[in-house]
A and B are shown apart, each in its own frame.
Chain A
Amino acid sequence: MPVDIDIAKVAKLARLELSAEELERYGAQLGDILEHAERVQALPTEGVPPTSHPLPMTNAFRSDEVTGSLDRDDVLAAAPDADGPYFRVPKILGEEVEGDNG
């Protein structure tokens, strides 16, 4: 049973720029995965508790202790761009506040 999927929207949400040919190829592959999920979903699971995690484990915590941080020079050296003590990134578009006073 084919599953309907808006691959262009998925790509856009994931910030992936795909060509028409890639959209078709990945769309088909993702469709296959979803079809597989549909088949699994059809299995009788009454009385089977849902499993969200494969590990039979809960409450894996750490105690509230400071264990240290990285050296800033090393961190910034690994970044594509830096400015003084900061990472430098292209400004996000579409954030301007409109001059609308209601």
Chain B
Amino acid sequence: MTDEARVDWEAVIGIETHVELQTASKMFCGCPVSFGAPPNTTVCPVCLGLPGALPVPNEAAIEGILRIGAAFGCELVSYSEFHRKNYFYPDLPKNYQISQYDLPLCVNGSVEIETDESSSTIGITRVHMEEDTGKSLHVGEGGRIADADHSLLDFNRSGVPLVEIVSEPDIRSAAEARAYGSEIQRIVRSLGVSDARLEEGSMRFDANISVRRRGDEEFGTRTEVKNVNSLRSLQGAIAFEIERQVRVLEGGGSVVQETRHWNEATGVTASMRSKEESEDYRYFQEPDLVPLEVDDAWRERIVASLPELPSARRSRYRALGLDMINAGLLVDDAALGSLFDDAVAAGADPAATANRLTGEVVAYTRREGVGVSETALTADHLVELGTMVTEGDLSATAAKDVLAGVLAGEGMPRAVAEQRDLLQISDLGVIEAAVESVLAEHAEAVERMQGGDMKPVGFLVGQVMRATGGKADPKAVSELIRSRASSET
């Protein structure tokens, strides 16, 4: 049963999204940010929490978070501070994480999302800056055998700039949660501040979920689901949790406020037993860091630096007549989208160009395992190809072959068409002769047409196309056959 199937219950969901920024150096030290470096090779006294080391904030990371906040339409506050969040965990070498508490850099934004059923506005409570932790490897991971009562630690990730985006509890279904997650990912990627790859952990979600009787004002008791590392699991974990909570409540029980762990393999959430007292992070101002001030000039510069955001691009593409799917594909793949923009600016037909890009071109890049910018394809190619088709020099089928040739680096479309002998026969006399000879061979079909049964037309067109090696314009052939049939009645 889906969450939507429970008509008398309503889910209330808020999502915390963590995004690692891909700056050159870490948040508070000069160690490089590099995914996949050998364990414990990008560490220094600051990110290892050695005594006496002092943090200094990375300006590029602050720029990055301000751009993220601005993309959500947040207020970029004029005064902000870092706090220490105190807790004990082996991957946190200082025993506190530098984070932000009551004075985050960005507040009160929103994001528009769309699902198959609905479109809605999800509030963004806050966006704050913090640092990532190291990584614990448990038994068996990393190809090493540690004994059962020890963990192994890699601090390369410790101190990587981390942005936390906190949504309002405005999300009402698992499908909306997924749409929200993917829109956040799109926005962050469009800003170029992070590759936001869930499978590599540079983007991570925690979801707070509760259910209430439809119409109730008060929120139910919530649970928090962690360890969600794909959009599919975000949707799956939330759908599972809504179902579980409804079942508990309908069975007369009550939901326990707790953290639950999503198990990708089994598709269930399970309670994480914690010996920790109730969460008490004893936040206090980070004495090693001075406050942050964002003035109007900085704020204006940040806003002016924003690219066209995914939602704006999507509406622009829809206004050009593209369907949801094509518009979405062009928004999701920045290189594909900019190729489309260039081609359309140079006069290419939007719908036909979008179909080519999202059809043959995407199929080609997936097959070859390359990005579109690594192919030979340019906007000029797309413009010339489009013109050749509209002017009747190429059939739709031949256009696909020509595009394949262009992608393979064979040159401009006209040259490829000539080289591959794909140009349509423009000499009407040649086509007429081919039609004549096919009609002469199929007298029975001609008779049927003369009797008013036009069914054989398709067959006859096929015969002419075959006779001309596919180079006749099928529309012209069809017209010729129809006019011959009627002229002989």
Which residues of A are at the interface with B, using a C-beta cutoff of 8 A?
9, 12-13, 15, 52-53, 55, 57-70, 72, 75-76, 83-102
Contact between B32 and A64, CB atoms less than 8 A apart? no
B261 at the interface (CB under 8 A from A): yes
> Is there a chain A Cβ closer than 8 Å to B285's Cβ?
yes
Contacts A58-B290, A68-B30, A76-B40 known; A87 to B155 CB distance under 8 Å?
yes
Q: Is there contact, CB below 8 Å, between A86 and B144?
A: yes
CA distance A84 to B23 in the complex (A): 29
Interface residues of B in 242-267 (CB under 8 A from A): 243-244, 247-248, 261, 263, 266
Q: Mark B14-36, 1 if CB is under 8 A from A, else 0.
A: 00000000011100011110000
Q: How far is the CA of A21 from the CA of B304 in the complex (A)?
A: 62
On whether the beta carbons of B270 and A86 are closer than 8 Å, the reply is no
Which residue of A has the minimal Cβ distance to B269? A102
Tally chain B residues at the interface, Cβ within 8 Å: 68
Q: How long is the Cα–Cα vector from A20 to B285 in the complex, in angstroms?
A: 31
- B292 and A58 contacting across the interface, CB-CB below 8 Å: yes
A97: B residues at CB distance < 8 A: 261, 263, 270-273
| Contact, CB under 8 Å: A63 / B150 | no
Report yes or no: B89 in contact with A92, Cβ–Cβ below 8 A.
yes
- Judge if B81 is at the interface, Cβ distance under 8 Å: yes
B285 touches A58 (CB 8 A): no
Assess the A89–B293 pair: CB atoms within 8 A.
no
Q: How far is the CB of B155 from chain A (nearest CB, A)?
A: 7
Most interface-central of B44, B152, B274 (chain A CB within 10 A): B152
Interface locus among B56-64, B330-338, B372-380, B441-449: B56-64
B30 and A75 contacting across the interface, CB-CB below 8 Å: no
State which of B172-180, B206-214, B275-283, B409-417 sits at the interface with chain A.
B275-283
Sampled A-B contacts (24; CB under 8 Å): A52-B285, A58-B291, A59-B290, A61-B56, A62-B58, A63-B59, A64-B25, A66-B25, A72-B39, A72-B43, A75-B48, A76-B40, A83-B150, A85-B40, A87-B152, A90-B149, A90-B150, A90-B151, A91-B148, A92-B89, A93-B275, A94-B276, A97-B273, A98-B272
**Distance, CA A88 to CA B152, complexed state (A):** 5
Contact in complex: A84, B144 (CB < 8 Å) = yes
State whether B275 touches A61 (Cβ < 8 A): no
Separation in Å of the B14 CB from the closest CB of chain A? 20
Which one of B23, B153, B274 has the greatest number of beta carbons of chain A within 10 Å? B153
Q: Of B144, B146, B247, B271, which one neighbours A100 at CB under 8 angstroms?
A: B271
- Decide if B268 touches A101 in the complex (CB within 8 Å): yes
Q: Nearest-CB distance from A4 to chain B (Å)?
A: 17
Is the CB of B137 closer than 8 A to any CB of chain A? Answer: yes
* Chain B neighbourhood of A90, CB < 8 A: 149-151
* A70 to B274 CA separation, bound complex (whole angstroms): 35
From the candidates A9, A52, A55, A72, name the one contacting B41 in the complex (CB within 8 A).
Answer: A72
Is the Cβ of A102 less than 8 Å from the Cβ of B268?
yes
Minimum CB–CB distance for B47 against chain A, Å: 9
How many angstroms between the C-alpha atoms of A91 and B137 in the bound complex? 10
Q: Which residue, of B31, B151, B263, has the highest number of chain A Cβ atoms within 10 A? A: B151
Contact of A64 among B41, B58, B282 (CB under 8 A): B58
Minimal beta-carbon separation of B280 from chain A (angstroms)? 6
Please, how many angstroms separate the alpha-carbon atoms of A34 and B38 in the complex?
47
Question: Distance in Å from the Cβ of A51 to the closest Cβ of chain B?
Answer: 10
Closest chain A residue, CB of each to CB of B42: A69
- Contact present for B56 and A62 (CB under 8 Å): yes
State which of A13, A75, A92 has its C-beta within 8 Å of the C-beta of B43.
A75
Question: Does B45 contact A70, Cβ atoms closer than 8 Å?
Answer: yes
A88 to B155 alpha-carbon distance, docked (Å): 12
What CA separation (Å) do A99 and B271 show in the bound complex? 8
The answer to whether B41 touches A69, judged by C-beta atoms less than 8 angstroms apart, is yes
Closest chain B residue to A85 by CB distance? B39
Give the docked Cα–Cα distance between A78 and B367 (Å).
Answer: 49
CB distance from B442 to the nearest CB of A (A): 68
When A52-B81, A91-B138 are in contact, do A65 and B43 touch as well, CB less than 8 Å? no
B168 sits at the interface (CB 8 A): no
B58 in contact with A70 (CB, 8 Å)? no
Q: Which of A67, A87, A95, A101 contacts B40 (CB 8 A)?
A: A87
Whether B30 pairs with A61 at a CB distance below 8 angstroms is: no
